[in-house]
Amino acid sequence: MTSARGKRPNASITNVAALADVSIATVSRVLSGRRTKDDDIARRVRQAAIELDYAVNSAASALRSDTSNIIALSLPATPNPLHAGIVAAISDAASAAGRQLLVGTDSTSAGQHQRIKAFIRRNADGIIVLPCPRSGTSTARGLATADTPIIQLFGSTNLLRHDWISIDNGASIELAVTHVVERGAHSIAYFSDAVGSSEGAQTLLAFQSSLNMLHAHADSDWITIADGTTQRGFADTMRIFGDASREIPEAIICASVDTAIGAMIALNQLAIDVPNRVQIVSLRDDTAAATSVPSLTAMRAPLPQMAAESLRLIANAGAATSDAMTVARLRRHVAFPRRVVARGSTRHAAVA
Amino acid sequence: MTSARGKRPNASITNVAALADVSIATVSRVLSGRRTKDDDIARRVRQAAIELDYAVNSAASALRSDTSNIIALSLPATPNPLHAGIVAAISDAASAAGRQLLVGTDSTSAGQHQRIKAFIRRNADGIIVLPCPRSGTSTARGLATADTPIIQLFGSTNLLRHDWISIDNGASIELAVTHVVERGAHSIAYFSDAVGSSEGAQTLLAFQSSLNMLHAHADSDWITIADGTTQRGFADTMRIFGDASREIPEAIICASVDTAIGAMIALNQLAIDVPNRVQIVSLRDDTAAATSVPSLTAMRAPLPQMAAESLRLIANAGAATSDAMTVARLRRHVAFPRRVVARGSTRHAAVA
DNA sequence: TTGTAAGCGTTATCAC
DNA sequence: GTGATAACGCTTACAA
């Protein structure tokens, strides 16, 4: 029955001002950091705020100052396992910047367009969009005039006509090839998945040129293009490694974790040692990679960096528009390579 | 260069009132549905709103009416593939109820506690919490007094002392057993994962009692408890099905998709037909289940229903508290069984 | 540096 | 049922 228990649910700035014996303007200035001095007044205000368990009313703050401290994220509704990591990374970055995260999912680009407009109405500080597949250019038009910064995250082409943060697939596979070559592999198989023509072709090209650059080679039938299933990895591996009379590659690069695990099961059946006889790298990562035996070396998108960069672009966009106004701003494009997470399916790096 | 291009970015209720030649109070009433008549005035107001591309300023609305139209969701930061589906389901349900979704991720229950307090400060209409593993009871205490409804979603125990929506594991496995028995299986293997003692034990018990009830049986070494990896499914299946001199089960129930796929690869190696000789069901679903060959019958949590129920509980909580006030409200617990998604690894249902 | 006071756009209250 | 008007809690000129 102490007074602490019956704490008033929502104290307002007026209560704090009264308790600290200053004006509400001073309270606002101290708590928002617009008043830098750390004297007795500042201390009294902060003390009063703590005592009353005060926190600014975000609705009032948003109404008056026209800034919501909200970052919005539009996702495709298709439950992609990567989405969970993306949401977590952006949530973290937003929290670090003192902002909250509004999320919406839609299954069509038209729905996504509506969603983005709703975000703009909410006066979000910035909007991050993972475009739905085959999102038409229609998405871009109606949003061009809005002054809320919009960032496209991922996607194989710049569907929205805005700043774009994506994955550098060419650099990623070059890193994968480098990883196994540095660990002693001279011959490499590549189990590609047949993602959209341009992206898949580009990655394949980068694989070939990485081989040349690093003096490694691949027989033509070591490069297969199919789905990303476990069975496919198993079948391709059985075919390529099952014939004892032929040369076998010293490493496999797989487009998916499932394919890599299928390959590992097949190699285990054939009594071919991983990683000493054959090394395996997956271009994607997920929880199964860490739990397999041996654990699977895999690449992952640097989500925290990509999220931080998104927020940085959003923050800068505000400055840019106030400067350039009606002049069309340059669209920025930042592409990150995936990072290698070294695990048990590749060897320790050779000491030169 | 039409006037449409230069459309004023944010028209306010005053502009709409002027254009419709009514008072702002009437505009508010018409657009918020508090005025039911559909006469000329209502039409004029709606027309004017469309013409000006007007949408209410949510900050002002939230400030004045003390209701934010925001649902908040707190997730563990660990990137669980299920999270993507959960976010999508809740986003859909929230959109259907005219609300937006605020999301925060945290890796500790302490962080989650802070997050929830921030959501309460944002004046969220309701908060949905997926508790972090081993979240202590500390999470519950400080939040008990808040009148913002809080719902726990998933989790194996009611960590928060609030309404709770979860999965009925016993009913789920009973449905799985029924599914294969109805399709002709009399003997069933179970590849369990060793999730937390209570939940795992409970599911195992339900498996046994389902067998009894449906007159099916399982040899004791057909029930294995291990991790959920593909390799484990492969190894267990090779062991149980590889000895031609022994009886083999007519169905396998697997705790994970990966394990089920490992089993399917093994059966394929052993030239045992799926689904005609052996049927397979996974207790979880993911994208790999649909793409395997044959595709994998799997169970999934009814996320749309669970999300809708969450919002229903939140909506009702408002009514309940205004009635009961200081009286401790009864905590509600709703448990949904997973649903079977029938695919190619089980047969067509036998016609009785 | 501080306090005073004017709004931000909406909904609630009150007369009519 | 409608319209004038007062609030909601905060930020920000502007005056002291």
Q: HEC states along A180-218?
A: HHHCCCCEEEEEEECCCHHHHHHHHHHHHHHHHHCCCEC
In this predicted structure, what is the pLDDT of residue A37? 85
pLDDT score recorded for residue A350: 67
3-class state of residue B327 by DSSP: coil
Residue ranges of alpha helices (H) inside B103-156 are: 109-121, 138-141
Q: Which of A66, A105, A130 to mutate to test binding with chain B, by most B CBs within 10 Å of its CB?
A: A105
CA pair distance A39, A37, nearest whole angstrom: 6
Query: Would an 8 Å CB–CB cutoff place B137 in contact with chain A?
Result: no
Q: How confident is the model at residue A3 (pLDDT cuts 50, 70, 90)?
A: very low
Contact A148, A126 (CB under 8 A): yes
Burial B77-94 (b: 16+ CB within 10 A, else e): bebbbbbbbbbbbbbbbb
CA gap A337, A306 in Å, rounded: 10
B228 token code pair: 């959920």
The per-residue pLDDT for B11 is: 87
Q: What is the mean pLDDT of residues A143-162?
A: 80
Distance in Å from C8's C1' to B52's CA comes to 20
Q: Is the pLDDT of residue A56 over 80?
A: yes
The predicted-structure confidence for A220-265, as pLDDT tens digits, reads as follows: 999 999 999 999 999 999 999 999 899 999 999 999 999 999 999 9
Looking at the partner chain, which of A62, A80, A228 has a beta carbon nearest the beta carbon of B84?
A80
Would you state the pLDDT for residue B142?
Answer: 53
The sign of the torsion formed by the CA atoms of A44, A49, A50, A52 equals positive
Can the peptide bond before residue B79 be classed as cis, meaning omega within 30 degrees of 0? Answer: no
- Measured between beta carbons, which residues in chain A are less than 8 angstroms from residue B286? 81
What's the pLDDT at B326? 44
pLDDT of residue B318: 63
pLDDT score, position A108: 93
Q: Residue ranges of chain B with pLDDT lower than 50?
A: 1-8, 137-139, 321-327
**What is the rounded CA–CA span in Å between residue B17 and residue B15?**
5
Query: Which tokens is B288 given?
Result: 């790999």
Asked if the model's pLDDT at residue A157 lies above 90, the reply is no
Which 286-305 positions of A have CB less than 7 A from strand D?
Answer: none
Locate tokens 């983005």: which residue? Answer: A116
> Worst-scoring range by mean pLDDT, A58-72, A161-175, A215-229, B190-204?
B190-204
> Which residue ranges form the domains of chain B, and what is each CATH number?
13-62 (no CATH), 70-161+303-336 (3.40.50.2300), 169-301 (3.40.50.2300)
Query: What per-residue confidence (pLDDT) applies to A135?
Result: 52
Quick check: bond before B294 cis, omega within 30? Answer: yes
Which pLDDT score, from 0 to 100, does residue B202 have? Answer: 87
- pLDDT at res. B59: 94
* A143 pLDDT tier (thresholds 50, 70, 90): low
Q: For position A57, what pLDDT does the model report?
A: 94
Q: What's the maximum distance between 2 C-alpha atoms anywhere in chain B?
A: 90
Partner B contacted by A228 (CB < 8 A): yes
The answer to whether the CB of A240 falls within 8 A of the CB of A248 is yes
Check whether A150 has a pLDDT greater than 90.
yes
CA–CA separation, A181 vs A187, rounded Å? 8
Average pLDDT value for residue range A204-232: 96
DSSP state of B108: S
pLDDT at position B349 is: 79
Asked whether the predicted pLDDT for residue A58 surpasses 80, the reply is yes
User: Using alpha carbons only, how large is chain B's radius of gyration in Å?
Assistant: 26
Q: Which parts of A228-332 fold into alpha helices (H)? A: 230-241, 257-269, 287-291, 303-324
In chain B, the N- to C-terminal Cα span, in Å, equals 71
Six token digits for residue B276: 């005609």
Residue A128 near residue A94 (C-beta atoms within 8 A) = no
CB contact under 8 A, B288 and A91: no
Q: How far is CA B248 from the centre of its chain?
A: 36
A28 touches strand D (CB under 7 A): yes
pLDDT average, residue stretch A83-112? 95
Give the pair of three-digit tokens for residue A122: 């909410």
- Over chain A, what is the mean pLDDT? 89
Q: CA-CA distance, B285 to B256, in Å (whole number)?
A: 8
What CA–CA distance (Å, rounded) separates B129 from B151?
Answer: 6
Integer Cα distance of B119 and B109 in angstroms: 15
pLDDT of residue B147: 80
Is strand C in 7 Å reach of the CB of B18? Answer: no
What is the sign of the dihedral through the CA atoms of A35, A38, A44 and A50?
positive
What whole-number percentage of chain A has pLDDT above 90?
Answer: 75
B104 close to A (CB below 8 A): yes
Q: Which residue in A68, A81, A87 is closest to B81 by CB distance?
A: A81
Residue among B3, B70, B91 with most chain A CBs within 10 A, to mutate: B91
Which pLDDT does position A335 carry in this prediction?
Answer: 97
B145 neighbourhood in chain A, CB within 8 Å: 9
Cβ proximity of B191 and B224 under 8 Å:
yes
Q: Sign (positive/negative) of CA torsion B180, B184, B186, B189?
A: negative
Reported as a single tens digit per residue, the pLDDT across B43-65 is 999 999 999 999 999 999 999 99
Interface of B with A in 145-204 (CB under 8 A): 145-147
Helix (H) or strand (E) holding A165: strand A163-167
pLDDT of residue A329: 63
